[in-house]
Amino acid sequence: MVTPVSHLDVKVVMVAAVSSGQGKTTCTAALARKLVKLGKRVRVFKCGPDFIDPMLLERASGAPVHTLDLWMVGPDLCRSQLAHAALEADVILIEGVMGLYDGTPSSADVARTFGVPVLAVIDASAMAQTAGAIVMGLRDYGAVNMAGVIANRVASANHGKMVAASLRGVPLFATMPRQQASLPERHLGLVVPGEIHNLDTVLDQLADQLQFDQAAWETLAPVRIELPAAAPSALPKPLQGATIAIARDAAFTFLYPANLDQLRALGATLTYFSPLADEPVPAAASAVYLPGGYPELHAPTLSRAAQWRNSIRAAHAAGMPIVAECGGMMALADTLTDQQGAAWPMAGLLPGAVTMQARLAGLGPQGLPTPDGILRGHTFHYSTLSTPVTPVAHTIKHPSAIEGEAWYRVGALTASYFHAYYPSNPAAAAALFMRRQG
Contacts of 209 (CB under 8 A, 6+ apart): 30, 176, 177, 179
As to burial, measured by CB atoms within 10 angstroms (0-12 exposed, 13-18 middle, 19+ buried), residue 370 is middle
Least Cα distance to 247 among 192, 312, 183 occurs for 312
Q: One of 27, 47, 78, 326 is an active-site residue; which one?
A: 326
Contacts of 406 (CB under 8 A, 6+ apart): 385, 391, 393, 394, 416, 417
Q: Which 3 state secondary structure label does DSSP give 153?
A: strand
Q: Which 3 state secondary structure label does DSSP give 376?
A: strand
CB atoms within 10 A of CB 125: 14
CA distances from 33 to 86, 199, 201, 260 (A): 18, 12, 11, 26
CA distance 342 to 166: 53
Catalytic-residue membership of 326: yes
CA distance 104 to 329: 28
Residue 93 contacts residue 85 (beta carbons within 8 Å): no
Residue 255 contacts residue 51 (beta carbons within 8 Å): yes
CA distance 236 to 265: 9
Name the CA dihedral angle for 415, 420, 422, 427, rounded to a multiple of 10 degrees.
-50
CB atoms within 10 A of CB 206: 21
Report which secondary-structure segment, H or E, holds 343: strand 343-345
Residue 88 contacts residue 41 (beta carbons within 8 Å): yes
Q: Which residues are catalytic?
A: 326
